[in-house]
Amino acid sequence: MALFAVTLIVFGIAMGGLRPSAESPAPDFSAVLELDLPARPGMPAAEARTAPPQGMPEEEEDSWETVTVRQGQSLDAIFRAQGFSIGLLHEILALNDETRSLKKIRPGDEFAFRRNADGTLEQMRYPLDEGRYLFVDNRDGAPRAETLERLLSTRMYEAEGSIESSLFLAGKAAGLSDAMIMKLANIFGWDIDFVLDIRAGDRFYLLYEKVYRDGDYLRDGEILAATFVNQGQKFQAIRFEADNGPQYYAPDGRH
């Protein structure tokens, strides 16, 4: 309920005064808001913002060599191609369940290696999922493995658009991805027929998330609040994390 209240307040500040009229023109949504957000129920705390993981290498990124797994390639083949010890690989694979999972790598997976001065393996990292990676440290000659969290942050953005021919083209002009445009259409799909009801001059406004990993854009997040003005009628929706999953409600609480 607290998240709903916070979202409602933000929604009111960002969009409450918007009216598509000459007397009250919509503001320029050119600013980007980067905020620390509380983690949502059921989501890892890292989605909001995490502290830099303990043990994360601090050396320059260009000291790492990245290798992308090819079709039919095993980690054994990668180690041989890199000139690393196969005996060391067997030691790594035997460390824990996470390292044993390296026997089932897939095409497109990426490994990063750092070498000692003599070319032997010093450190290795491998992404386990969006927010974690496996880190292997062999600096003392006895490999150790640990799972580290990556720095994920959520930033809020505002966007607006005016439709001339289609929602898709207006959304692209507003800088929205195809997926975000579809999310917007799905939110109001019960109220608006986006094939038959859309008119030139219809407008939309939204407050949405983007997710960044280690400071770099990773993917779009969710739409937190949105307004769609269709033929002069205004529809509004605010995202609320309910026990049975996320839902969108009108400001008066209607689902």
Q: Per CATH, is 61-149 categorized as 3.10.450.350?
A: yes
Instruction: Identify the architecture of domain 2-49+152-249 in CATH.
Output: Roll (3.10)
| Section 131-156 average pLDDT | 94
The model carries a pTM of 0.62
Q: Please enumerate in sequence order all residues whose Cβ is within 8 A of that of 129, keeping only pairs 6 or more positions apart, or say none.
A: none
* Domain limits, the chain: 2-49+152-249, 61-149
Q: Do domains 2-49+152-249 and 61-149 have the same CATH topology?
A: yes
- Residues 95, 85: contact at Cβ < 8 Å? no
Percent of the chain at pLDDT > 70 equals 75
Three-state SS letters, 148-163: EECCEEEEEEEEEEEC
pLDDT in tens, 168-181: 999 999 999 999 99
* Cα angle 67, 69, 74; round to 5: 115
Long-range CB contact pairs, 32-40, < 8 A, 24+? 32/155, 32/157, 33/155, 33/156, 33/157, 33/158, 34/153, 34/155, 34/156, 35/154, 35/155, 35/156, 36/153, 37/154, 37/156, 38/3, 40/3, 40/241
